[in-house]
Amino acid sequence: PPRPPPPPGPSGRRSGRLAPRQQRAGDAYRDRYVVDVPRDVARTSVDPDHVLDVAATFGRDARLVVEIGSGQGEAVVAAAEREPGTDFLAVEVYAPGLAQTVLRASQRDLTNVRLVQANAAEVLATTLPAGSVDELWVFFPDPWHKSRHHKRRLVTPSFAALAERVLRAPGEGDDGRPGGTLRLATDWAEYAEQMLEVLDAAPGLRNVHGPGNAAPRFEGRVLTGFERKGEAAGRVITDLEYVRV
């Protein structure tokens, strides 16, 4: 049966304990950084009738970057600090990660970061307006490396369709802007192959570097502790880059 949702954002735990600094940051800055969304039946679900007013959320009209699975917030906070003219929306389900992202953003007094605690598929399917995203980031999603768990992976044909939905379409006529960009990174070679197979087959996406080819390392992605661990374990990092067509 439906359960009442927890308080959204860092103060409402999804799993794990919050460190004292995280809890204090969540309590002090939740209203500034965390977007309250109406819930459906699950703790991290979003009412399918809810559509995010992006301009009202950030208080301006600007280029929008969305990171799915923002983790501890290292990438999104560093990018927001580097690009104050761009707005960044971080999507994450786990409260400790959200709280750490709020802590990082508040320490830098950033005004162009917002967070939402919600399931990625729902955010892409209904919460974000169609064609509203300039860049969509998916960095190091869980590889679910055991064969029996592959069905849990994020990057599937249905994900590709959702990415197409939210990415900005290419401009026409005098506009002529390219479509929105989908950027991915993984340290799991077999998952990288699956990503290429799925996304190269998506009718609304084009591999910037040609079918079957990886991209150079995205310069806008900071080197995180997670990536360092992958490299230390001997895993090769694969970046992918697609544009909406």
d(CA 54, CA 230): 35
Catalytic residue, from 27, 87, 142, 187: name it: 142
* Separation of alpha carbons 177 and 26, rounded Å: 38
Task: For residue 213, give the amino acid letter.
Answer: N
How many whole angstroms separate alpha carbon 93 and alpha carbon 243?
26
Q: Is 142 a catalytic residue?
A: yes
Q: For 118-174, what is the HEC assignment?
A: CCHHHHHHHHCCCCCECEEEEECCCCCCCHHHHHHCCCCHHHHHHHHHHECCCCCCC
> 68 vs 51, 115, 171, 232, CA distance in Å?
17, 10, 25, 25
> Would you please indicate which residues are annotated as catalytic (active-site) residues?
142
